[in-house]
């Protein structure tokens, strides 16, 4: 009987003799030339996306079994610092031999990534599992990872830049790591916000559930123009799923996603195409003496393109309590969490917030009725992702139901569908209301919104756009628009008088005659929100 150890030793012996074994895959042949740089792969198995979908369907009909965490006590010792020392050796990167364009490296398990994820390579409809070895990682002699069991598994993977680039070993462009999280760089070469496979019961009383990608199957891109194809199996207490990703490296990163989802248990908030980001503060809510930097955020607004054609910008908030907002729609054209402010002087630190990507979701096919929901969670630091946005179908997700969604993700600096004939909201600021030079009444807040766009340059001298404003409660006054000297910007200004601490939902756009000149600016004013130094 040929055991796994015997099989590996046989392959090493064959490689040492300079043999190329019949039936070996292209990456096995490449690595067999040097036994010290050869991946250990499992047996070949047939693979198809249809079969993966069927597996997910059958899993949903059975009780959920949580994945076991092997060697938990040891993994707990691999904290952030220790995990950072475990670097996958590029010599073992699949497809770095030229059999593909974008090499793959794997993440090690650790204190924060304790669930093993099985990794497979695909070729000609056949899959082979990549078996974990400590040899694959740069690992200090005293690392706790050396005590882990054989073939414990990996935590995730990432794709590196084209092997024709001199810096491919140090530059990656996509990473899948933790639960169903994944992210990509934009066209300015920087990571930022994340996407997820699914969001289950985000910000609900029963608590959020985080299903896991438990298996990945990676098929290489043969050229820079081709996508890397990744298949994934999802499993969680309330849901299972099968995913297919086409990952294309171009202007930023574009991902075509198709997923089949199967509901095990009723889900209160079923979030499709979820995006996760961080918003601490910007120019409109910067607390006094809280931090030395002008702004700190991965995203500054939610952009919406409704099925009816309206373009909306909802400025993000850092609220005092968790808040969820819903924007009802029918067959939306797209939505995204955007980093609209690209001025480096507005951030002034070394982590390059001005280069963080925006992420736009474009539905492929009809999604029907539902709502884009925005969840904003309080945070007092930049280390927490406190913003989530996703599509929620109108009909509730019940046990036994199944779904199929297709959409495209654009990771780039700006929306792939710019506002061609409308101005956009560039900045939002708040201050004390009333007339300058006179005592400022209490309970009166001044709102100042700057707009920019070529259409504003068509205004004749002395011609002013009209600001159309509506609020859910309160009294408006001192409404006006004005050009900002020495810029191409126009500014809308108004005061709001409101009693109590309940939120105020606000909408505004600029118009000339009967025609809109801007997108719709939306904001949720929180009258009871104090500066951090006042709490």
Phi and psi based region of residue 120 (left: phi greater than 0; alpha: psi -120 to 50; beta: remaining): beta
Averaged pLDDT for residues 283-312 = 92
* Cβ within 8 Å of residue 510, ≥6 positions away: 423, 451, 465, 466, 467, 468, 481, 490, 492, 516, 517, 518
Residue 520 pLDDT > 60: yes
- For 349, list phi and psi in degrees, rounded to 5: -140, -175
Residue 530 has a pLDDT of 64
- Mean pLDDT across the chain: 91
User: Model confidence over 21-50: pLDDT tens digits?
Assistant: 333 344 444 433 343 358 999 999 999 999
Residue 109 has a pLDDT of 97
CB 412 within 8 A of CB 278: no
CB 263 within 8 A of CB 70: no
Residue 5 pLDDT > 70: no
User: Model confidence over 95-108: pLDDT tens digits?
Assistant: 999 999 999 999 99
- Nearest 5 degrees, angle CA 519-CA 379-CA 412? 45
Residue 88 pLDDT > 50: yes
Averaged pLDDT for residues 276-284 = 95
% of the chain with per-residue pLDDT over 90: 85
Alpha carbons within 13 angstroms on the beta-carbon side of residue 420 total 3
Averaged pLDDT for residues 298-311 = 98
**DSSP conformation letters of 101-115:** SS-EEEEPPBTTB-S
Domains of the chain: 4-37 (no CATH), 39-266+404-410 (2.70.98.10), 269-395 (no CATH), 424-534 (2.60.40.10)
Residue 150 pLDDT > 70: yes
Residue showing tokens 């809280």: 290
CA distance linking residue 44 with residue 449, whole number of Å: 60
């Amino acid at each position: 009987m040929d055991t796994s150890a015997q099989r590996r030793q046989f392959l090493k012996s064959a490689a040492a003799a300079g043999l190329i074994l019949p039936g070996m895959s292209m990456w096995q042949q490449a690595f067999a030339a040097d036994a010290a740089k050869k991946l250990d792969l499992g047996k070949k198995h047939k693979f198809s996306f249809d079969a993966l979908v069927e597996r997910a369907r059958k899993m949903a009909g059975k009780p959920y079994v949580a994945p076991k965490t092997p060697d938990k006590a040891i993994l707990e010792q691999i904290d952030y610092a220790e995990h950072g020392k475990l670097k996958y050796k590029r010599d073992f990167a699949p497809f770095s031999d030229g059999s593909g364009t974008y090499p793959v490296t794997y993440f090690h398990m650790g204190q924060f990534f304790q669930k093993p994820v099985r990794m497979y390579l695909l070729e000609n409809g056949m899959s082979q599992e990549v078996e974990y070895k400590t040899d694959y990682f740069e690992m200090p002699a005293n690392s706790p990872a050396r005590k882990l069991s054989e073939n414990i598994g990996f935590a995730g993977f990432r794709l590196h830049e084209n092997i024709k680039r001199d810096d491919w070993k140090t530059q990656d462009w996509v990473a899948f790591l933790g639960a169903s999280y994944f992210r990509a760089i934009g066209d300015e070469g920087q990571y930022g916000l994340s996407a997820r496979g699914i969001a289950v019961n985000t910000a609900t009383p029963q608590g959020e559930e985080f299903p896991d990608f438990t298996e990945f199957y990676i098929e290489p891109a043969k050229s820079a123009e081709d996508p890397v194809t990744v298949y994934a199996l999802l499993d969680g207490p309330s849901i299972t799923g099968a995913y297919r990703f086409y990952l294309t490296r171009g202007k930023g990163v574009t991902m075509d996603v198709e997923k089949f989802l199967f509901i095990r248990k009723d889900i209160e908030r079923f979030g499709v195409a979820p995006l996760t980001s961080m918003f601490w503060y910007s120019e409109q809510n910067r607390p006094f003496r809280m931090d030395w930097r002008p702004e700190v955020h991965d995203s500054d607004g939610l952009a919406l393109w409704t099925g009816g054609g309206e373009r909306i910008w909802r400025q993000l908030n850092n609220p005092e309590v968790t808040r969820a907002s819903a924007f009802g729609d029918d067959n939306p054209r797209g939505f995204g969490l955007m980093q609209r402010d690209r001025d480096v002087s507005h951030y002034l630190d070394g982590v390059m917030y001005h280069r963080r990507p925006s992420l736009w979701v474009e539905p492929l096919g009809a999604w029907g009725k539902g709502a884009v929901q925005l969840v904003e969670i309080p945070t007092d630091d930049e280390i927490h992702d406190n913003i989530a946005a996703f599509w929620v179908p109108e009909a509730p997700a019940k046990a036994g139901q199944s779904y199929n969604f297709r959409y495209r993700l654009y990771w780039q600096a700006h929306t792939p569908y710019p506002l061609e004939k409308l101005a956009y909201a560039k900045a939002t600021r708040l201050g004390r209301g009333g007339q300058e030079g006179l005592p400022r009444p209490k309970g009166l807040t001044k709102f100042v919104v700057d707009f920019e766009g070529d259409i504003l340059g068509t205004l004749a001298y002395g011609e002013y756009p009209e600001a159309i404003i509506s609020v859910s409660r309160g009294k408006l006054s001192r409404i006006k628009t004005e050009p900002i000297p020495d810029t191409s910007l126009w500014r809308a200004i108004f005061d709001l008088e409101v009693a109590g601490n309940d939120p105020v939902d606000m909408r505004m756009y600029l118009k000339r005659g009967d025609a809109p000149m801007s997108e719709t600016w939306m904001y949720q004013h929180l009258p009871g929100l104090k500066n951090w130094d006042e709490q």
